[in-house]
Amino acid sequence: DTGVSQDPRHKITKRGQNVTFRCDPISEHNRLYWYRQTLGQGPEFLTYFQNEAQLEKSRLLSDRFSAERPKGSFSTLEIQRTEQGDSAMYLCASSHGQGKPNNEQFFGPGTRLTVL
Amino acid sequence: DAKTTQPPSMDCAEGRAANLPCNHSTISGNEYVYWYRQIHSQGPQYIIHGLKNNETNEMASLIITEDRKSSTLILPHATLRDTAVYYCIVRVADAGKSTFGDGTTLTVKP
């Protein structure tokens, strides 16, 4: 257990429905990251926050995806109008962040999304 | 971020050292080498990182060549629980994203 928690761990939804995932980072970490991982592939970066500011978004993050970290603590990732291609493991990670000598990212267990 | 190249799979006998190579010939001077592993259906686990010097912690050792174009992760006494996908990543320390490749699937056999 790295101290990063994600909820839910599994989500099954029908195509077209909206889903929201939550990530709680390690408390003293000011950076929070979202990645997506499909079977047999390495994790792909989606976006990251420094405190409440979203500093970078991947081209993978289409208009149907939105991430927030309103108080600089937990974060949510919402997918609107889900498609079967959204089926994947969604991983959250946190780190100390800018200016820290060690900025290794600690990952949560992931949320596995299945879109039927 | 610099691109990394890793062999797709490796086997290791239980109790022996596992040596996992990574090529990163386009690494920049301020980029670190990070290693993570991912056991089936879990999130990636941080193992170790380094810039120039060799590093050791309770999990593994990291050997970086003098020209920094390649590195080797060493698990000194592999156990069955070390069976996982191992990812080598290079990035600036305070960069946002990490770019993962497909990693090396290490299988430790009895």
d(Cα A19, Cα A113) in Å, to the nearest integer? Answer: 9
Chain B within 8 Å of A114 (Cβ-Cβ)? Answer: no
- Taking an 8 Å cut-off on Cβ atoms, the answer to whether B97 and A45 are in contact is yes
- Kindly report the backbone phi and psi dihedral angles of residue B96, in degrees, each rounded to the nearest multiple of 5, phi listed first: -75, -70
Q: What is the reported pLDDT for A51?
A: 92
Write down the mean pLDDT value for chain A. 92
**Chain A residues with beta carbon closer than 8 angstroms to that of B49:** 102, 104
Tell me: the pLDDT tens digits for B3-44? 899 999 999 999 999 999 999 999 988 899 999 999 988 999
Q: How confident is the model at residue A100 (pLDDT cuts 50, 70, 90)?
A: low
Q: pLDDT at position B38, please?
A: 96
Q: What is residue A96's predicted lDDT score, i.e. its pLDDT?
A: 85
d(CA A16, CA A20): 13
In this complex, do B43 and A44 lie within 8 Å of one another by their Cβ atoms?
no
CA dihedral B26, B29, B34, B35 (to 10 degrees): 50
Residue A2 has pLDDT above 90, yes or no: no
| β-sheet bridge partners, residue B12 | B108
Of the candidates B22, B23, B1, the one whose C-alpha atom is nearest the C-alpha of residue A58 is B1
Q: 């592939």: which residue's tokens?
A: A41
- The mean-pLDDT minimum among A25-39, A98-112, B57-71, B85-99 falls in A98-112
Chain B residue set in contact with A, beta carbons under 8 Å:
34, 36, 42-46, 49, 85, 87, 93-103
Per-residue confidence (pLDDT) for residue B2, from 0 to 100 = 61
Does the beta carbon of A98 lie under 8 angstroms from any beta carbon of chain B? yes
